[in-house]
Amino acid sequence: MKEKDGCQICYFSTQPYTTAMRLNRIVILLLLPLLFSCENQSADNSSITAFVGATLIDGTGASPINDAVLLVENGRIRQVGSKEVVDIPKGAQEVDMAGKYVMPGMINGHGHIGGTEGLQGGKYSRENLLRDLALNARYGVTTVVSLGGDEQASIEVRDAQETGSLSHSRLFVAGTIVTGDSPEEVKLVVQENARNKVDFIKIRVDDNLRASVKMPSDVYSAVIEEAHKHGIPVASHLYYLKDAKGLLNAGTDYIAHSIRDKEVDQELIELIKAKDVYYCPTLMREVSVFAYAETPDFLADKFLLNEVEPEIIEALKAPERQKRIKENPRTKVYEEALVMAMSNLKKLSDNGVKIVMGTDAGPPARFQGYFEHKELELMVAAGLTPMQTLVAATGNAAKHLNLKDIGTLEKGNWADFILLEKNPLEDITNTQSLLDVWIAGNKVPEK
C-alpha cells in the first residue's frame, strides 16, 4: 500500500455528470497539484531518511526485496518495500544504496560484555562495557545477549537503550551466573538477579571434561523453578547429551551451547521440540579453545586486524603459548567436539529445532564482533543455507529470545541494519564486506 501524505480532498459524486459538475471537476483537478504542493511544503519530512536502491534481506526468511526503499523516522522503520510500493515523502533525506545489500543487524544470542580486555580478561567496568558495545556495533552485531558477568552498569545501559538516539549495540543481560551447592543457596542468587530485572538466568551444568564438579539436577531444577516464578527464562551451559535431556525435563528454556559428547538422538529431538526450547551452537567457542595451538589463518585477516591491538596478535603467535595449548590434552577433545557440534547443528536444524546464532565471544581471544561473522561461516560449513544462517542471527534470534522490536526490517521495528558490498546469500563470507552499520537509524561512528 502506498502511503498517502495528502489530505482527503479527492471525493467525487457518483451522480450522473452535468456540465457544471464537469467544470467543478476540472477546477478541482487543476487545483489538486497546488493543494498537494502546499501540503508538501508545510509538512516537514526532514526527520525521515529514505535508504534507497539496495537489495534488502529483511531477516524473516522471505525472498530479498530488489531496489528497496527503507524509510526511517525517529529511529524506527516507518515503511519498507520495493520502490514501486513505497513513496518517498518530499523533503525526506535520501541515502543512495544502489547495487549494495541491506540486512538486519546481527544478534549474538550468547556473548559476554564488559569484563573483557587483553588476553588475561579484564576487570568489569562501565568503560569496558561501552567500548565492547561500540566494537560490536562496528562489526554489525547490533544486539548482544550477555549470558553472565553483567553488573550494575549493564543493567543501566540496557534500561537506557529504548531511544532513537542510540548508536551503540543493544544489550540484554543475565546478571550473575547462578552457582551454589544447594537449592536454598541458588534460589537466593536467582532472587537477587530478579531484583536486578535480568532478561535471562544463566547456569552451567558441566564438569569441564571432568576438571570440576557439575551442578546436580536438584540444584539446577531449583534454579529453573525459581526463575520461572519470576517469569525469567533460563539459559543453560552444557556439554553432554545426558545433561541436555535432564535440563529439558527440568524446564530450561534455552540451550546455550552445542551438545558435544554424542550425536543427538531422536529422544533429544522430540524433547527439545516438545518443550519449545531454542538452541545456540557457539561453534566459535570450540575454535577458540584449540585454534591457538597454532597460528590460525584468521589472525592475518584484515577484518580482524582493523580492531585488535597488534600486541594481542603477537601474544597469540608466541611459540611458548602455542606449545602450552598444543600439549594440553583438552585441546584435542574440544577440536573433536567442534566436529560433533557441527553435525548436531545440522541434524537439529533439519529436524525443525529453533536455532539462534551465538558465539560465547567476549572472553580473551574470542573476538567480539569478528567471531559472529566466523560463526556464520561455520554454520554454513555445517550444512545450513546462508538464508537459514542469517535468519538464525536476526529474525529468529529476536523471536526465540523474545527481544522486542528488533531482528527484522519490518514496519515499527528499530532501524538496526547493516550495509554490505556483496550478497551474503551467495556467499556467507560476504557479511564481511561490511560497509556501514545503523542502530536506531543512526550511523555507527567509525573507530
Distance in angstroms (rounded) separating the CA atoms of residues 195 and 37:
55
Residue 258 CB, shortest distance to Zn ion, in Å, is 12
- Please, which residue, 90 or 330, has the CB nearer to Zn ion? 330
* Residues between 228 and 247 that touch Zn ion (CB under 5 A): none
- Please, which residue, 288 or 389, has the CB nearer to Zn ion? 288
DSSP of 352-418: T-EE-----B-STT--TTHHHHHHHHHHHHTT--HHHHHHHTTHHHHHHHT-TT-SS--TTSB--EE
In this chain, which stretch among 125-133, 270-278, 360-368, 399-407 interacts with Zn ion, using CB under 5 A?
360-368
- Please, which residue, 73 or 360, has the CB nearer to Zn ion? 360
Distance in angstroms (rounded) separating the CA atoms of residues 269 and 285:
23
Amino acid at 227: A
Residue 126 CB, shortest distance to Zn ion, in Å, is 21
How many residues line the site for Zn ion (CB under 5 A)? 2
Distance in angstroms (rounded) separating the CA atoms of residues 26 and 31:
9
State which of residues 117, 253, 360, 416 lies at the interface with Zn ion (CB under 5 A).
Answer: 360
The answer to whether residues 373 and 432 touch, using CB atoms and an 8 Å cutoff, is yes
- Please, which residue, 148 or 395, has the CB nearer to Zn ion? 148
The answer to whether residues 321 and 197 touch, using CB atoms and an 8 Å cutoff, is no
Give me the residue label for grid cell 538496526.
Answer: 416
Residue 112 CB, shortest distance to Zn ion, in Å, is 6
Residue 9 CB, shortest distance to Zn ion, in Å, is 60
C-alpha 302, offset from chain centre: 23
Which single residue brings its beta carbon nearest to Zn ion? 360
List all residues 6 or more positions away from 1 whose beta carbon is below 8 Å from its beta carbon.
85
Residue 147 CB, shortest distance to Zn ion, in Å, is 5
Whats the size of the chain, residue-wise?
Answer: 447
Residue 230 CB, shortest distance to Zn ion, in Å, is 21
Phi, psi of 443 (to 5 degrees): -65, 125
- Please, which residue, 101 or 254, has the CB nearer to Zn ion? 254
Q: What would the x/- binding string for Zn ion be over residues 24 to 43, using CB under 5 A?
A: --------------------
DSSP of 23-89: HHHHHHHHHHHHHHHHHHHHS--TTEEEEES-EE--SSSPPPBSSEEEEEETTEEEEEEETTT----
- Please, which residue, 147 or 418, has the CB nearer to Zn ion? 147
Distance in angstroms (rounded) separating the CA atoms of residues 404 and 412:
11
In this chain, which stretch among 134-142, 222-230, 294-302, 358-366 interacts with Zn ion, using CB under 5 A?
358-366
- Please, which residue, 52 or 392, has the CB nearer to Zn ion? 392
Residue 237 CB, shortest distance to Zn ion, in Å, is 6
What grid cell was written down for 88? 518517498
In this chain, which stretch among 193-201, 294-302, 354-362, 411-419 interacts with Zn ion, using CB under 5 A?
354-362
* Residues between 141 and 160 that touch Zn ion (CB under 5 A): 147
Residue 171 CB, shortest distance to Zn ion, in Å, is 15
Distance in angstroms (rounded) separating the CA atoms of residues 405 and 291:
37
Tell me: does residue 226 bind Zn ion (CB under 5 A). no
Pairing of strands 76-82, 68-73: antiparallel
- Please, which residue, 57 or 190, has the CB nearer to Zn ion? 190
- Site residues, Zn ion (CB under 5 A): 147, 360
